[in-house]
Amino acid sequence: SAVISQKPSRDICQRGTSLTIQCQVDSQVTMMFWYRQQPGQSLTLIATANQGSEATYESGFVIDKFPISRPNLTFSTLTVSNMSPEDSSIYLCSVVKQGYEQYFGPGTRLTVT
Amino acid sequence: DAKTTQPPSMDCAEGRAANLPCNHSTISGNEYVYWYRQIHSQGPQYIIHGLKNNETNEMASLIITEDRKSSTLILPHATLRDTAVYYCIVRVAWRGQNFVFGPGTRLSVLP
């Protein structure tokens, strides 16, 4: 298995500001992903965090809005830039270590006012 | 990845077995059935997965029909802590991509 921690666990931010979310895994993993879960909705993939190169973004998500870093095999950050109330969501880090299972972090609950 | 269909919600009495169905009529021969659950305000938790044989672990049992077009997740003795959204996902076993989550089934375990 993999133990994933995220910081912060929650935050309340002003419109127009940016927030960086950190994801730390207790061991090296093959893949890291970032998801968004809007209130009452299922999970939506934002991007795949690639070590040492630019993240791969899903349709509807762009690097300028959600810059991602992954400097090594156990750590990644997601920044939510120029926030608006529509960005209020839970942001989840997810990893695949090897094999068939995907593990999820506890999530970061973001409220934009 | 094959599409899945799940009922939006179900109720189950505490202590009874919870049987959560999933239809995946377009499943391919190399696609696995995975189940995850998400307890309120937490990240999704892996439960179980299988290809064609029934599977059991400490959390649940997975029953896959012979034609593999549907499956059932069984929680043998549901507790209040099993109240969660349960996601059935069908996909090829690890090909370097993520899981696609549908709306899932909201299971309410009632006292």
B53 close contact with A: CB closer than 8 A: no
SS3 assignment for A51-94? CCCCCEECCCCCCCCCCEEEEECCEEEEEECCCCHHHCEEEEEE
Average pLDDT over residues B30-55: 91
Contact at CB, A42 and B101, closer than 8 angstroms? yes
The predicted model gives A14-37 an average pLDDT of 94
DSSP code of residue B18:
E
Lowest mean pLDDT among A6-10, B10-14, B89-93: B89-93
Min mean pLDDT across A25-39, B56-70, B93-107 is at B93-107
Note whether B50 contacts A: Cβ–Cβ < 8 A: no
pLDDT at A58 over 80: yes
Residues on chain A bordering chain B, Cβ-to-Cβ distance under 8 angstroms: 4, 30-31, 33, 35, 42-45, 48, 90, 92, 94, 96, 98-107, 109
Question: Does residue B36 have a pLDDT over 90?
Answer: yes
**A9-13, B21-25, B77-81, B93-97: segment of lowest average pLDDT:** B93-97
Cα A1 to Cα A26, A76, A100, A104, B20, distances in angstroms: 10, 18, 11, 11, 25
**Predicted local distance difference test score (pLDDT) of residue B92:** 75
pLDDT in tens, A74-113: 999 999 999 999 999 999 999 987 766 788 999 999 999 9
Strands B55-56 and B61-64, bridge-based pairing:
antiparallel
Interface test with B, best of A6, A32, A42, A48 (most B CBs within 10 A): A42
Mutate to test the interface with A, among B30, B94, B95, B100 (most CBs of A within 10 A): B94
pLDDT of residue A2: 85
More confident position, B93 or B20: B20
What value does the mean pLDDT of chain B take? 91
Asked whether residue B15 carries a pLDDT value surpassing 60, the answer given is yes
Average the pLDDT over B80-91 and give the result: 94
Q: How much of chain B exceeds pLDDT 90, in percent?
A: 74
Shortest distance, CA A37 to any CA of chain B (angstroms): 10
Looking at residue A100, what is its pLDDT?
Answer: 63
A4, A90, B10, B18, B44 from B85: Cα distances, Å: 21, 15, 10, 13, 9
Give residue A31's pLDDT.
85
Q: Determine the Cα–Cα distance for residues B54 and A32; give it in Å rounded to an integer.
A: 30
pLDDT at A24 over 90: yes
- Gap from B67 CA to chain A (nearest CA, Å): 22
**In the prediction, which pLDDT does A47 show?**
93
